[in-house]
């Protein structure tokens, strides 16, 4: 029993951050692509940190992973082939597999170390990467997208911020590539950061995705360990509108955040966020 | 120009907190009721701290104040007499006054120092306390409620956490007092903390308010400087259901968070929050 207190502090902006008491740091290394840390915290359980930014924690991961996966999968009537770009921790894949129509879920992460350490230290998140419906590919998502035309029903981009290896994943060229990799009625969704400190990013992504997809919608969720606690997701769709879904027909699946009752409500944006999408 | 960096760090739980760079501390004193600080921060502007907890900041205050005021005022068809218990910073009052039907808005805060320093350091929040429709009373809200039967159309409880002077404001006796202070079709709303770290509180308040009011609804908003970024509000109503409101009939008023499109969506709760209200 040590009397020494260790705290992880993340400056989420130059002038604001979160701080959490930690038990130990299991991993801290430079991979071929980014700085990776796996830390055991008191409040949030084990936590994955990439380039100094919290990616996921055992306690609050369900919000992000459910909200990446379910709104698009419950908008597409028959999502058989799903691609997750990034997301090496496996959390989005776990949620995707809750949909019985999904025949194949492909994960493409550029950094094999994220997958390896997630399996070791975040088993409740990464455990489903072993599922027979899952194919794990260690590769650049940008390249994978451009090599697969007319292939996927739903593509989910679970990337880090647009710094480091993810910078290409926030370009119009990438969105056009995704459009081409989707089937004729495909849906795309990406995490698009928070409106308090990254308003410019949300606006520019929204503008770019609108140039590629006919239907573009932004929705939100609360994630305590992400900057401001308010996260946005941008959906681009060729045919199906998430707001045209009959919520009463959405089956109940086992979740802790998403519900059919929340499906459309998540798209009702605070005024200052709504203004970023105009 | 100093090279010294000062940071305000608030432990929101034993093991988690926020930290923000500050420019200066204008006020830090023990009032008759609580420890009060007024701090100028880099990211959030001026900030009021009571008993070591951020109450409001110039940058994100609009969320809390709008979301205390508008859902109930747009549910009641003719809210003429409104009471705000606590809320000495004046932010809720400012929002209440945006409703032309309101003839009188009474603010009862136990601590005159909160009002005084808010007028001085948070003028964009407290400025409307001088409005002729407003009556400011420095008194115990609990006592005021019990001295005013059948008086108000809407009562809003903008209190601190249930520690210190606000502990009485989270009791069934208080909710019964509010019920009696409301007219026969009155509505009550209170801030009820966050579901990540204070799940027990939300459950117990929900149980208690249900014993007093026939209609009880919980809604949420994102507040970056509050623990977890996700805040709940509990509404108790004698007659009008906020979910029965015709959103298309809600007039647009000048807001930065609340919109008519968000009115019902704010009541769509994440599954783990919904479970706390059952």
What pLDDT does residue B166 have?
Answer: 74
What pLDDT does residue A169 have?
Answer: 79
Q: Does A24 touch chain B (CB under 8 A)?
A: no
Q: Does A137 touch chain B (CB under 8 A)?
A: no
Taking alpha carbons only, the member of B228, B275, B64 closest to residue B157 is B64
Taking the CB of residue A136, how many other CB atoms lie within 10 A of it?
A: 17
Lookup: tokens for B173: 């006796």
Q: Do B268 and A258 touch (CB under 8 A)?
A: no
Q: Do A21 and B19 touch (CB under 8 A)?
A: no
Q: Which residue has the tokens 């840390």?
A: A37
A269 burial class (0-12, 13-18, 19+ CB within 10 angstroms)?
buried
Taking the CA atoms of residue A151, residue A267, residue A272 and residue B222 in that order, the dihedral angle to the nearest 10 degrees is -110
Beta carbons within 8 Å of B208's beta carbon, 6+ residues apart = B171, B172, B175
Domain boundaries, chain B: 6-55, 61-277
Out of B257, B262, B270, the one facing A262 most closely (by C-beta) is B270
Task: Report the topology of domain B6-55.
Answer: Spermidine Synthase; Chain: A, domain 2 (2.30.140)
B241: annotated binding-site residue?
Answer: no
Q: What is the 3-state secondary structure (H, E, C) of chain A?
A: CCCCCEEEEEECCCCEEEEEEEEEEEEEEECCCCEEEEEEECCCEEEEEECCEEEEECCCHHHHHHHHHHHHHCCCCCCCEEEEEECCCCHHHHHHCCCCCCCEEEEEECCHHHHHHHHHHCHHHHHHHHCCCEEEEECCHHHHHHCCCCCEEEEEEECCCCCHHHHHHHCHHHHHHHHHHEEEEEEEEEECCCCCCCHHHHHHHHHHHHHHCCEEEEEEEECCCCHHHEEEEEEEECCCCHHHCCHHHCCCCCCCCCCHHHCCHHHCCCHHHHHHHC
- The tens digit of pLDDT for each residue in B78-133 reads 999 999 999 999 999 999 999 999 999 999 999 999 999 999 999 999 999 999 99
> Is a pLDDT exceeding 90 seen at residue B167?
no
A161: annotated binding-site residue?
Answer: yes
A193: annotated binding-site residue?
Answer: no
Q: Does A9 touch chain B (CB under 8 A)?
A: yes
Q: What ipTM, to 2 d.p.?
A: 0.96
C-alpha gyration radius of chain A: 18
Nearest CA in chain B to A227: B224
Spell out which residues of chain A touch residue B271, defining contact as CB-CB under 8 Å.
255-259, 262
Confidence of residue B165 (pLDDT cuts 50, 70, 90): confident
What pLDDT does residue A171 have?
Answer: 87
DSSP-assigned letter for residue B275: G
**B6-55 shares its CATH topology with B61-277:** no
> Is a pLDDT exceeding 90 seen at residue B171?
no
What pLDDT does residue B170 have?
Answer: 82
Percent of chain B with pLDDT over 90: 93
B25: closest CA of chain A, how far (Å): 16
What pLDDT does residue A261 have?
Answer: 97
Task: Report the topology of domain A61-277.
Answer: Rossmann fold (3.40.50)
Number of helical (H) and strand (E) elements in chain B, helices listed first = 8, 12
Q: For every one of its 278 residues, what pLDDT tens digit does chain A have, with 9 covering 90 and above?
A: 578 999 999 999 999 999 999 999 999 999 999 999 999 999 999 999 999 999 999 999 999 999 999 999 999 999 999 999 999 999 999 999 999 999 999 999 999 999 999 999 999 999 999 999 999 999 999 999 999 999 999 999 998 877 777 777 788 999 999 999 999 999 999 999 999 999 999 999 999 999 999 999 999 999 999 999 999 999 999 999 999 999 999 998 999 999 999 999 999 999 999 999 99
From the options 3.40.720.10, 1.10.260.40, 2.30.140.10, 3.40.50.1970, give the CATH code of A6-56. Answer: 2.30.140.10
């Amino acid at each position: 029993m040590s009397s020494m207190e260790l705290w992880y502090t993340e400056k989420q902006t130059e002038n604001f951050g979160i701080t959490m008491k930690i038990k130990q740091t299991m991993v801290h290394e430079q991979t071929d692509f980014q700085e990776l840390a796996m830390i055991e915290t008191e409040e949030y359980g084990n936590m994955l940190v990439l380039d100094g930014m919290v990616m996921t924690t055992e306690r609050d991961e369900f919000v992000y992973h459910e909200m990446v996966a379910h709104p698009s999968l419950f908008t597409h009537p028959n999502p058989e082939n799903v691609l997750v770009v990034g997301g090496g921790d496996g959390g989005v894949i776990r949620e995707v597999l809750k949909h019985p129509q999904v025949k194949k879920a492909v994960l493409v992460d550029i950094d094999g170390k994220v997958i390896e350490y997630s399996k070791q230290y975040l088993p409740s998140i990464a455990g489903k990467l072993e599922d027979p419906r899952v194919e794990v590919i260690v590769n650049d998502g940008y390249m994978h997208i451009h090599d697969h035309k007319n292939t996927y029903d739903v593509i989910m981009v679970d990337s880090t911020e647009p710094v480091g290896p993810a910078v290409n994943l926030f370009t119009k060229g990438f969105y056009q590539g995704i459009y081409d990799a989707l089937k004729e009625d495909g849906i795309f969704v990406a995490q698009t950061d928070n409106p308090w400190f990254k308003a410019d990013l949300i606006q520019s992504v929204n503008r770019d995705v609108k140039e590629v997809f006919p239907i573009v919608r932004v929705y939100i969720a609360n994630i305590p360990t992400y900057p401001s606690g308010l996260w946005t997701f941008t959906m681009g769709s060729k045919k199906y509108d998430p707001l045209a879904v009959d919520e009463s027909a959405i089956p109940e699946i086992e979740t802790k955040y998403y519900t059919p009752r929340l499906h459309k409500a998540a798209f009702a944006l605070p005024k200052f966020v709504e203004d970023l999408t105009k």
